[in-house]
């Protein structure tokens, strides 16, 4: 991999509550990854959810046809 093939990295400062820090650490450990990758995954997931449900709600169909509405806060 050449330098131009590598993804561009951007440093940010992030302030987390104790609860968010605990959740981040647990998620990173559960996924066998580091906290940076866990934050990157969370941001991509949030963007995906926003694209799928721009109005803040998503309807999921179960295999049996039952519908569940999820409200994104």
pLDDT digits (tens, 9 = 90+) for 27-65: 999 999 999 999 999 999 999 999 999 889 999 999 999
pLDDT in tens, 9-28: 899 999 999 999 999 999 99
Number of domains in the chain: 1
**Single pTM value for the model:** 0.71
Q: Of 19, 21, 57, which is closest to residue 39 (Cα–Cα)?
A: 21
Q: Report residue 23 as tokens.
A: 């959740």
Residues 71, 53: contact at Cβ < 8 Å?
Answer: no
Residues spanned by the domain of 45: 3-71
Length, in residues, of the chain:
73
């Amino acid at each position: 991999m050449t330098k131009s093939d590598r993804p561009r990295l951007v440093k940010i400062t992030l302030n987390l509550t104790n609860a968010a820090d605990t959740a981040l650490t647990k998620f990173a450990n559960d996924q066998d990854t580091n906290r940076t990758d866990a934050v990157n995954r969370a941001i991509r997931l949030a963007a995906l959810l926003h694209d799928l449900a721009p109005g803040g709600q998503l309807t999921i169909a179960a295999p049996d046809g039952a519908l569940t509405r999820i409200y994104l806060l």
